[in-house]
Amino acid sequence: MHFKSGFKYEIIKNPFNKNAGISYALSAEVIETNKVLKKQKAINFNLSEGFKNNSYLYQRTIEYNYPIRMNETSKLIFFLNTEEIPNDCKIIETEKHLKLTRC
C-alpha cells in the first residue's frame, strides 16, 4: 500500500506493540542507548560531550530512557563511536553507533 502523503503503513500496523514505529520517531543512537541500558540493567547513566553538544541526541536520550535517569556522576558513560574514549574508561559494550563505558 502506498500513500501519496508519505505516510508509512508500518507505523500503525501494530498499534499495541510497545515499540511500534519507534524507528521512525527516534534515531538509531537513541534506540541503541535504551537497548544497552536494559541489557546492562542500569539504574542511571551519563553522556559524553558528543551527546551533550547535540541537543537532539541529548534530549531524546534522556526522554526515551526514562525511568532510567541521566546522572552527571554516573560511572556508566555513553560515547558516540566517532569520539575518543579517555584512557581511564573501560569499554563495556560496543554497538553500531555508540559505546558504553565505565569511567
Assigned domain for 14 exists = no
CB 76 within 8 A of CB 46: yes
Provide the pLDDT for residue 25. Answer: 78
Provide the pLDDT for residue 15. Answer: 65
Please give the residue range of the domain that contains residue 64: 27-102
Provide the pLDDT for residue 6. Answer: 61
Confidence of residue 22 (pLDDT cuts 50, 70, 90): confident
Number of folded domains that form the chain:
1
Assigned domain for 3 exists = no
Taking the CA atoms of 70, 75, 78 and 83 in sequence, report the sign of the dihedral they define: positive
User: How many other CB atoms are there within 10 angstroms of residue 76's CB atom?
Assistant: 21
Assigned domain for 36 exists = yes
| Cell numbers describing residue 35 | 537497548
Residue 3's contacts (CB-CB under 8 Å, 6 or more residues apart) are: 9
Q: Taking the model in full, what pTM does it have?
A: 0.83
Provide the pLDDT for residue 16. Answer: 67
Which single residue is written with the C-alpha cell 555508540? 98
